[in-house]
Amino acid sequence: GAVVSQHPSWVICKSGTSVKIECRSLDFQATTMFWYRQFPKQSLMLMATSNEGSKATYEQGVEKDKFLINHASLTLSTLTVTSAHPEDSSFYICSVEQEQETQYFGPGTRLLVL
Amino acid sequence: EDQVTQSPEALRLQEGESSSLNCSYTVSGLRGLFWYRQDPGKGPEFLFTLYSAGEEKEKERLKATLTKKESFLHITAPKPEDSATYLCAVQAAGYSTLTFGKGTMLLVSP
């Protein structure tokens, strides 16, 4: 399956600052990537679908102005958490779609907002 | 609305003690049902995709089965390294997105 990396693996920031998380597809050109958020002992919740060269599609309840997604190339999608607050602290995971719609996930990014 | 319910929430087994995890689902036309394994602090690792009722897939000590309402992940003679959270997800016909269950946390003791 596809190999996916994320950077950084963890980040700590102050409340009110912005944080950018990168998701890279290392061996596959991904026209579609997905961004998920996972709170402790909870399942993965889809935040948005990122499409190369076009605007992302956000799930209901996800603020598009707060979680900015850019899919500028077939191997890179970025998620920027703007004006982060402690309630944004979570585990953010991206995935790419390959092989009959199977999604392969990155290792995740742990965000802690102080 | 698509829904996925996994049971039990947690399962503790002795090494070699076989068992099954359950994933019940409701979806408006199933495109695929997926099983993933997630270790603490890691992203999910793909295990299986099942597409139609009656389908079965195996990988080492794991075997996944599918009916029209649920899927089972059978673990035969588990080892401590099988300890992880197992996630089930469904994909509806015509969509690429996945709906995940909350997972079953499996602990296998030596």
One-letter-per-residue 3-state SS of chain A: CCCEEEECCEEEECCCCCEEEEEEECCCCCCEEEEEEECCCCCCEEEEEEECCCCCEECCCCCCCCEEEEEEECCEEEEEECCCCHHHCEEEEEEEEECCCEEEECCCEEEEEC
> Three-class SS of residue B52?
coil
CA–CA min distance A16, chain B (Å): 25
Give the model's confidence band at A104: pLDDT under 50 very low, under 70 low, under 90 confident, else very high. very high
Low-confidence ranges of chain B (pLDDT < 50): none
The B residues from 16 to 35 touching A (CB cutoff 8 Å) are 31-32, 34
Query: Does B97 sit within 8 Å of A34, measured CB to CB?
Result: yes
How many CB atoms are closer than 10 A to CB A45? 15
Residue B60 contacts A, CB cutoff 8 Å: no
Between the two ends of chain B, the Cα-to-Cα distance in Å is 41
In whole angstroms, give the CA distance from residue A77 to residue B66.
34
If you measure CA to CA, which chain B residue comes closest to A49?
Answer: B97
> Three-class SS of residue B81?
helix
- Tell me the mean pLDDT in the region A89-101: 89
CA–CA min distance B13, chain A (Å): 20
The reported pLDDT for the residue numbered B35 is: 98
The reported pLDDT for the residue numbered A95 is: 96
- Tell me the mean pLDDT in the region A69-87: 94
The reported pLDDT for the residue numbered B60 is: 95
Query: Does B45 sit within 8 Å of A106, measured CB to CB?
Result: no
If you measure CA to CA, which chain A residue comes closest to B4?
Answer: A43
Q: Report percent pLDDT > 70 for chain A.
A: 98
The reported pLDDT for the residue numbered A26 is: 94
